Amino acid sequence: MLKRKLVFLLLITIIIFSLIGCTTTQNMQQPQIPAQTQEQTNTSSLSQQPAHEAVQSPSKTDKFPEPSNESNNKENDKLLIAHYIDVGQGDSILLQTPSGKTMLIDGGVPEMGDKVVNYIKKQGINKIDIIIATHLHFDHIGGLPAVIKSFEIGKIYAPKVTHTTKTYENFLNAVKYRGLKIIAAKGGMDLDFGEGVTAKILAPNSEKYDSLNNYSVVVKITYGNTAFLFTGDAEKESEQEMLSKGYDLKADVLKVGHHGSSSASTWAFLKAVNPKYAVISCGKGNDYGHPHKETMEKLKSLGITVYRTDECGTIVAVSDGRTISFNVKPGDYTAGSSGNSSTLNTSSSMTFQSLPYGYYGEPGKVYVDSSGRGLIKGNINSKGEKIYHIHGDPWYDKTKAEVWFKTETEAQAAGFRPPKK
Ligand SMILES: [Zn+2]
């Protein structure tokens, strides 16, 4: 009888660990992690409903599950936990405070919405006190509608800017559906994130930027002697502003700006933050070549330990107010491969001839600008159809890009089709 119970327990544990993903092995190899994290994950997983019961299209009368039992939370009483959820190319970070408050910074791309929802449920969380949409790009707000519809939500912060994409519209609709209003986030604001923890917004600090990335809401969370900095996709311009505002940028863990792109992480900023650890959220083999070589070289030369979701999967950092431990082994300083964009550069003037549309016909042809960024627009139209456009077709200038591709093959692999004649 006892044997059968043990086998059953073992099976359940295996299932949970396989659901948690590729961090599992590393989890088990890393003895320095506070036992609390894992115990909490396990017990709350058991109390959760299976993933497939996740709310698909909730009605206004949705009932939220009862709060998880107190004893589960007791074990995390003195811990601040930051989960950098592996959402491929994108950002999604869940925070839990010692007083039981929760915050979600971004939700990854739309396709990751369910994964983020399930991950949060596995932590035994029913309510998200604060949602921060760092900025309006689809790899940050894409998954948020699923989250907003699945949990009780306290407050939602986003930068004061609009964007004309289907993804943004979906986000706004979800907020409206919950009867909530978006609070405009600005540098200098203090957030109520429960007892013992301070949460301060450090950016944006201007009304207008050329790049949507610079609208990114930057948040610093301090607990005891430890601090975490979350930068969204803030680039050089915003970093410079935070420096000149004189904010205390010092943090132990830096979520590296813009997926490790060279457009962020200036020397001055890195030195002011002076982190022990850097976390990079990016997808394996992503089209942008993130993280960029320049950034990785800086982090290496400053002796900063790097954790990255493309190598480590979901990264969980736990602070007891004095020290921070991680659930996985560090990643390395290898830059992302950018598909040899430097040698594949196609002169834009050469490419932008009048193209036969319906199907452009050269699936492998590379369309990139001088910095290696893809020039094929992936648009999601009002009917939710995913269509890509190449410069020269009649819609190119009229459509907004949700995502950029370098080749038609890439666009089609992501579920986008060419426009019809
Ligand atoms: Zn991004």
Residue bearing the bigger pLDDT, 7 or 68: 7
For residue 260, the CA-to-ligand 1 centroid distance in Å is 10
CB atoms near residue 380 (< 10 Å): 23
Residue 74: per-residue pLDDT:
52
For residue 404, the CA-to-ligand 1 centroid distance in Å is 12
Torsion of the alpha carbons at 278, 283, 284 and 290, rounded to the nearest 10 = -60
Torsion of the alpha carbons at 139, 142, 144 and 147, rounded to the nearest 10 = -110
Sequence-distant (≥ 6) Cβ neighbours of residue 63 within 8 angstroms? none
* Element holding 201 (H helix, E strand): strand 197-203
For residue 272, the CA-to-ligand 1 centroid distance in Å is 23
pLDDT greater than 60 at residue 6: no
Residue bearing the bigger pLDDT, 379 or 184: 184
For residue 332, the CA-to-ligand 1 centroid distance in Å is 21
pTM score over 0.75: no
Sheet strands side by side (includes 376-380): 386-389, 376-380, 403-405
Rounded CA separation 398/202 (Å): 35
Sequence-distant (≥ 6) Cβ neighbours of residue 262 within 8 angstroms? 292, 293, 294, 295
For residue 248, the CA-to-ligand 1 centroid distance in Å is 24
For residue 109, the CA-to-ligand 1 centroid distance in Å is 9
Whether the link from the prior residue into 31 is cis, omega within 30° of 0, is no
Q: Which domains does the chain have, with CATH numbers?
A: 15-49+76-326 (3.60.15.10), 341-413 (no CATH)
For residue 105, the CA-to-ligand 1 centroid distance in Å is 12
By C-alpha distance, which of 314, 378, 375, 308 is closest to 110? 378
For residue 136, the CA-to-ligand 1 centroid distance in Å is 9
pLDDT greater than 50 at residue 356: no
pLDDT averaged over every residue in the chain: 82
For residue 137, the CA-to-ligand 1 centroid distance in Å is 6
Burial string for 384-416 (b: 16+ CB within 10 Å, else e) reads eebbbbbeebeebeebebbbbbbbbebbeeeeb
Number of H-type helices and E-type strands within the chain: 15, 18
For residue 259, the CA-to-ligand 1 centroid distance in Å is 6
Sequence-distant (≥ 6) Cβ neighbours of residue 187 within 8 angstroms? 201, 202, 203, 204, 205, 218, 241, 242, 245, 247
For residue 189, the CA-to-ligand 1 centroid distance in Å is 23
For residue 362, the CA-to-ligand 1 centroid distance in Å is 28
For residue 278, the CA-to-ligand 1 centroid distance in Å is 16
The model's pLDDT over 375-393, given as tens digits with 9 standing for 90+, comes to 899 988 877 888 988 877 7
Three-state DSSP class for residue 165: coil
The model's pLDDT over 276-297, given as tens digits with 9 standing for 90+, comes to 999 999 999 998 999 999 999 9
Rounded CA separation 7/11 (Å): 6
Residue 361: per-residue pLDDT:
61
- CA 53 remoteness from chain centre: 24
pLDDT greater than 60 at residue 21: no
Q: What is the DSSP letter of 157?
A: E
The angle that helices 35-47 and 113-122 make with each other, rounded to 10 degrees, is 110
Q: Do 296 and 333 touch, CB atoms closer than 8 A?
A: yes
The protein residues having their C-beta less than 5 angstroms from ligand 1 (an ion) are 139, 233
